[in-house]
Structure formats: C-alpha cells, structure tokens
Amino acid sequence: MSSLSLLAKKRFSGIFWTQSVGAFTDNFFKQTLLALIAHRGLTFMGMPEEEVGQLSGAIFMAPYFFLSATAGQLADKYDKAGIIRRLKILEIVFAVIAAVAIYFQNINWCVVSLVFFAIQSAFFGPLKYGILPQVLEPEELVTGNAWVETSTNIFILAGTMLGTEFVLRDVPNAAIGGLLVTISVLGFYFSTTIPEAPGNPDVKVDKNPFVPTWLTLKLLRQKRSILNAVLGISWFWALGMVMLGAFPFYTTKFLHCSLFVSTILFMIFSVGIAVGSMLCERLSFGRLELGLVPFGSIGISIFLAALWLLGNPLPDLGHELSGWEFIKTGGGIAISICVFLFCLFSGFFIVPLYTLIQQRSDPDTRARVIAGNNIVNAFFMVIAAGLTAVALKAHLSYPQIFGLLAIVNLLVSVYIYTLIPEFTVRFIAYLITHFLYRLKVVGEDKIPDEGGVILVANHVSFADWLIVMATVKRPVHFVMWYTYFELPVVSFLFKSAGVIPISSARLRPHVLHEAFVSIKHYLDEGEVICIFPEGAITKNGEISKFRNGVEKMVEATPVPVVPMAIKGLWGGNFSRFKGGFFRRFWRRTLRSKIEVVVGEPVPADQVKAEDLQEKVAALRGEIL
C-alpha cells in the first residue's frame, strides 16, 4: 500500500484533516495576535512585545501541564471521535469570540481566546495520537504517524506565515476573523467523518487534575521502552524549542540579516521535518523500525555541530542581508542545508518513537500514556527555554549553543540506548539487512500481531538472529547456546537484546532450567520467542535434525509455533562456509540478496520437532 493511498481511506482522512486544520487555526490565531501587537501598536497590560511573545508560549504550554492527564482519562473512557466533535464545536465558539476580539482590536479578549484555544488543544493532544491505532491497521501505523507529523508542521507553517502576512498587508480585521471561523467550521466538518473509536467505560475520570497527572506520569514507568521513547520525544521538542526560539535573534543579531531570513529558516524547519517524516515512512517498509532512531540522533548532532562550526559565514555588505541576499550566498545555502538536514534526521528520530508508544502501550491506557508524553514534552520545553536564557546571559553565541546541544544530544542518545539496548541492536540489524544485504521477507503477516508465539528457523550463520529481528515487527527474545555469552563484544549485544542462554542438561543443568523459566515467563506475558532447533550453525548448508526443545516449550505454555526459512546466507562471511574470508566475500558480495520465508502457524497441540523441520525445509527449498 502506498502512503498516498492511506489518505484516501475515510477512516484516516477524517482525523488527518481535522488535526491539520486544527494546527493551522491555533497558529494562525496566535501569530495574528502577536502581529497585531508588534505592527499596530496594541499592547497587553503594558508588556513589551518580547514579553507578550513569551507569555503566549507559556499560555499554550500551561494546559498541557494541568489538563493533559484529565484529557487522557476522558479519551480512554469515551468514544474518541465523539469527544473530538465536541471539541471542534467548542473551537467554533472560541473562534467567534476571537473574531469579535480581532475586529474590535481588543487584545485582552484576544488573550482570553488564546487561553480557550490552548485548553482545547491540550484536550485534543491525547486524542490525536490515541485514535490512530484504533483506525489504522498495525502495518499502517508508521505511515499514519508520518502523515500526521508532516501535516502538523506544514499547517503550523502556513498558519504562522498567514497570520503575520494578513496583519502586515492590512487585511481587514473582519476578513481575518472570518477566515478563523471558517477554518474552525471546516475542522468540525472533517471531524464528522472520523469513525467511532470506543473507550473503556470502566476508566475513572478524576475531577481534581493533579491526581490524574501524577497517576498518568506513573503509567509511563510501567514499560522502560515507553518511558525512554517519551524522554526521546521530549528531548527533541526541547531542541525544537531552542531552535525555533533562536531563529529571530540568530538571524538578526548574529548573522545580521533581516527578520525575513528567520521566516525562511522556519519554513526550512517545517519542510525538513515533513520530508524526514515521510522518508522515515519509506525506509521503515511499513513496520516499526527502531533502527532508524540512532540514525536520527547521529544526524541531529552532526548538523547541529555543523551550524556551530559554520559560525557566521555570510559576507559583510554593510547592511542587513535581505532574504534573497541570504539565499544566494554560499554561507546562506550552507546554513539552510544544515537546518534542513537537522530537521530531516529529526523525522527519523520522532516518527518511530511515536509509533513505539502507540504500539506498546495498553489500549485501555494508551490515551493517558500519550497525555503523559505531552506533560513531559511541555516540561522539557520550559526547561529548554530557561537554560537557553541562562546560556545567553553567560554570553554564549547561538552557534556555541548549537554546538553544546550537539554534544548533549549525543550524551542523551547514548543514555537512552544504554537503558534500552533494543535501539542499538535494531540499528545494527538495519545496517546489516539494508546495507550489507538486500532483505526480502515473504509471509511476515503470518506472524501473530499479539500474544505469545514461538518462531523456529534454520541456523545458517552468526547473523541469523539479527536477520530475524529485522524481519519481525514485534520485539523478539532469542534462545542461544550459553557459550556465545562468553565472547567479547557480541556477548554485550546478546545480553542487550534479551537473549536467553541455554545449555544441555549434561553440561549446565541450572542454565537449562533458568532458560525454560525465562521462556515460560515471556510467553505468558504474550511475547515472542525465537529458537534455532538445530542447536548449531550448519557446516554444510543443509538443515540438521531439529531437537525437541520446542515441544517442551509448548507443553509448558501452549502457544502457536511459526516456521521460518532463512535463504541466501550460506557462503557469506557470517556462515561456516570454508575457504577463508575472501572466498566467502566473493561468494556473497556486498548487497547480495537474502530472503526470509514465513510459514503458517502451527497450533500448540500439533507441534512436533520433525514436522517443523520438514516445514522449514519446504519453505527454504533448494536455495541456500
């Protein structure tokens, strides 16, 4: 399925267009308010323009602190589509109030309207991401998230630019207000096309917002992978807050350009995120691909460091550089490319993390988990703004701040990948299956999307477990011979990936016992186990006799067993093919084709080792 075809599906297009026009409305109104103050001499409580700008940002973030948890409870309890429609009706009311305030240029009521819009946005946040797993198939979720990230950034850009341009070009206030109301009505229309997404009526909604806030934050700690995904997303939005907040002063005070150059960089920022999100979708091949997250963090640090090293590469023309003068200089092009690539790699970073949260959170608490993500996001953004102010008071230039962020980003990434080594292992698996080999997967939809399951495959090479990991959408726990854990470097990867060491009853009976205890625990928890029943890597390319360990596993925990065949690895450098490194290399050159073929699941009561061996052999065929 192409990514464009998803937009044509009514079950997705409704939420897509609803959130898109919502992003436009929020930013169009906020920027109109700031433009009225900046360009028409209006004031709010006598505050300078800069302070009103900071206040508007605080107004938009405050509801995320205090109302996100309650919003998450409501979204988990009731039909999400119904709540969205009610919120869009309220948005129309708020838009009418704002339109009247704009018409009479009453800034006080504009600010009150901004508070209303901020509250509505806080309640919409958990719904936007919480509803996607209910209206999309699992294989569509990455694509859906990519489209949501793309449209959000594009429509934020459009709303921000039009809000400023309408005021600068003296568009009548009535027309500005009319557009605001019209877009809000359009948002309600799109919301009527969203399919039902029922919740759990047993969920309790607390009237005191502080209680659910604490409970929601505790939910994030139930799964380490979700907590660290939230921290990763929050870290990105902290970076985004610094970058977007820096553009006006970076361009005018450091680069000595006109303010329009900051608008150019903001456009590049939004387009870069959009392109990165869609490119991430293409490179994920319809699955949650955590291997792209390290790519994203590496790219973010590289291009932040590049902005630092560039400093001010623009020529001194004796006056502020216009937008055209900035674009046509080599230095301006270099800065633009760095900002664009920073954002492109950011798309690689955040799309898989959002998808991870959606896929691995419990459906009954998913909206509250997303609400917790919004709370932590807001906290990180406030901290980032405060630390940036401290850095500027310490007389750091903006390029120096970018360089510092590049270093901190690497440290944060290493911290996250150390706590959740799955990112690192998936990264290695992605490199192997997309750069060292060309992987083709046949029948991957035969692996159940949930519930305990055992995968069995032929054992061709030392890279088999990474190939299987890249094939399966779900996290996999591998069962491997215990001596592999004594090898340097790779032992760390095995332990990081949650590999289960196993031995024979004769050599290490306690290791065997602990292995079956771990296997039963994971299967009872509904997770995936993979075993290579031959017990050793083939020495001649043929499939050896399958041992009966898998039969004992299903006796203890009856789950389906899925046979898989790995094809194309025999003769490569990870196999036991004889003849030395160079002979193996030329036999299986770089980017050679490999294939994984998945068979039909075998019910637990029909599992026999010899039958599984025959099924794997039939799936493999004659190709080694």
Tokens of 165: 């341009």
The answer to whether domain 11-196 and domain 223-420 are alike in fold is: yes
Alpha-carbon 169 to chain mean position:
38
Reported as a single tens digit per residue, the pLDDT across 192-207 is: 999 998 888 888 888 7
Tokens of 158: 């459009």
First to last CA, the chain: 30
Give yes or no for residue 318 having a pLDDT over 60: yes
Reported as a single tens digit per residue, the pLDDT across 349-365 is: 888 888 888 877 888 88
Helix spans in 461-526 (H) = 464-471, 490-496, 509-524
Give yes or no for residue 582 having a pLDDT over 50: no
> Percentage of the chain with pLDDT > 70?
90
Q: Within a 10 A sphere around the Cβ of 440, how many other Cβ atoms?
A: 14
State the pLDDT at residue 69: 82
Phi then psi for residue 215, to 5 deg, are -65, -35
Phi-psi region of 273 (alpha: psi -120 to 50; beta: other; left: phi over 0): alpha
State the pLDDT at residue 147: 87
Q: In whole angstroms, what is the distance from residue 565 CA to residue 573 CA? A: 19
- Domain boundaries defined on the chain: 11-196, 223-420, 431-620
Regarding pTM above 0.85, the answer is no
Q: Which fold has domain 223-420?
A: Growth Hormone; Chain: A; (1.20.1250)
**Contact predicate 383/238, CB 8 Å:** yes
Q: In whole angstroms, what is the distance from residue 13 CA to residue 4 CA? A: 11
Q: Which helix (H) or strand (E) holds 596?
A: strand 592-598
Q: Which fold has domain 431-620?
A: Glycerol-3-phosphate (1)-acyltransferase (3.40.1130)
How much is the mean pLDDT over the chain? 83
Q: Which helix (H) or strand (E) holds 602?
A: none
Beta bridge partners of 529: 454, 477
What class is the 11-196 domain? mainly alpha
Q: Which helix (H) or strand (E) holds 303?
A: helix 292-310
